[in-house]
Amino acid sequence: MKAYDVELRKRAIAYYEQSGHKVETCRIFQLSRPTLDRWLAQQAEQGHLEPKTNYQTGYGHKVTDLDEFRQWVSEQSFERVVDLIDPFERHYGIEIKERNLLKWLHRAGYRFKKKP
């Protein structure tokens, strides 16, 4: 998503308020109609036109400190990944699926082989 300069936002809003024509404003400032509508709503609700900051991009990770996770795994006794799900959920306070836990174990350096 393109971040527009605050000055451009202010000029576009001022032009719209003077002319009253959204289509013309969007054409002159090369904006999409939803962008202008968002700016108008933001100014009405929040009183400013500053772009959003500190919003999350991507998904949140189940494990945020890989070294602490390695330490925790080394203290556990388990034969299968499934055996770690309940202790993980109790320790971290979040649910995790087997596949996701296996991914984090691989990132931590653990490798598993099928038993013969």
Tens-digit pLDDT profile for residues 70-100 = 999 999 998 889 999 999 999 999 999 999 9
Whether residues 11 and 40 fall in one domain = yes
The answer to the question of residue 60 being in a domain is no
Query: What is the total count of domains within the chain?
Result: 2
- pLDDT, tens only, 22-72: 999 999 999 999 999 999 999 999 999 988 877 777 777 888 899 999 999
Task: Supply the pTM of this predicted model.
Answer: 0.51
Rounded to 5°, the CA angle 33-41-26 comes to 25
* 47/2 Cα distance (integer angstroms): 21
Query: Which band of pLDDT confidence, cut at 50, 70 and 90, is reported for residue 4?
Result: confident
Residues 70 and 100 grouped into a single domain:
yes
- Per-residue pLDDT at 58: 76
Please report whether residue 91 resides in a domain: yes
Domain-embedded: residue 81: yes
Q: Is residue 116 part of a domain?
A: no
User: Is 56 a member of any domain?
Assistant: no
- Is the confidence at residue 1, as pLDDT, over 70? no
Where in the sequence is the domain holding 80, given as residue range(s)? 66-107
For 104, counting Cβ atoms within 10 Å of its Cβ (0-12 exposed, 13-18 middle, 19+ buried), the class is: buried
